[in-house]
Structures are given as structure tokens and as C-alpha cells.
Amino acid sequence: QKEVEQNSGPLSVPEGAIASLNCTYSDRGSQSFFWYRQYSGKSPELIMFIYSNGDKEDGRFTAQLNKASQYVSLLIRDSQPSDSATYLCAVRKAAGNKLTFGGGTRVLVKP
């Protein structure tokens, strides 16, 4: 079992719709959770971070965390073609500062 798992996609979403991305993690001691966006050939760009159970909203993005289910998700509302990218879920464990990344979900927003 991978430490951080994501569906590789591609997730095809019509423009204006909601894109829903999921991520599960195996270590119950994980404390911090991050979503990065990576365009092809570019570096990861931080979108959201969440530490506590529940929802956290920032503009068109909402991160949801459920530690009991070891599950974190990202919702992108009013998806735009510029949202087409790979979205990386990253987890920090209780001990240490390193991030463990999932394989990423590729999102395609079609006009």
C-alpha cells in the first residue's frame, strides 16, 4: 500500500463545473496536508493546506479533511481551462518535516 494514494486520472470536467479530487493516506499520525498544482514541465505550486478536520475554503478551492477516514479532498468550483494541471496531495507525518506525495491526479477542464 502506498503511503499517499491518488487516482491518476485524467479527471475530465466541463468548464464551470466542480472538480472533486481525492487522496487517502496510510499513516494515522499524519498531521499536515497540502495540495499542490503542477503544470506540465513546471514546479509544484501550493494551492491549499489543512491541519484540522473539516473544510477550509480559499476562493474557488475547498480542502476537506477527515482524519478518522484518513482522507483529504480538494474541490475546485467553477473550473476553468487554466485549472488543467496535475494536482498533488502531500502529507507530513507527526515526526519530521518531509512531505510524502501522492502520484497526482491529472485534471482536464474542457471549454
What are the residues binding other proteins (CB under 8 A)?
A: 32, 34, 36, 42-46, 49, 88, 90, 92, 96-104
Q: How far is the CB of 78 from other proteins (least distance, A)?
A: 25
C-alpha cell at 34: 497540502
Q: Please, is 16 exposed, middle or buried when counting C-beta atoms within 10 Å of its C-beta (0-12, 13-18, 19+)? A: exposed
Q: How far is the CB of 103 from other proteins (least distance, A)?
A: 4
Q: How far is the CB of 92 from other proteins (least distance, A)?
A: 6
- Residue with Cβ nearer other proteins (17 or 27): 27
Closest CA to 24 of 96, 67, 72, 62: 72
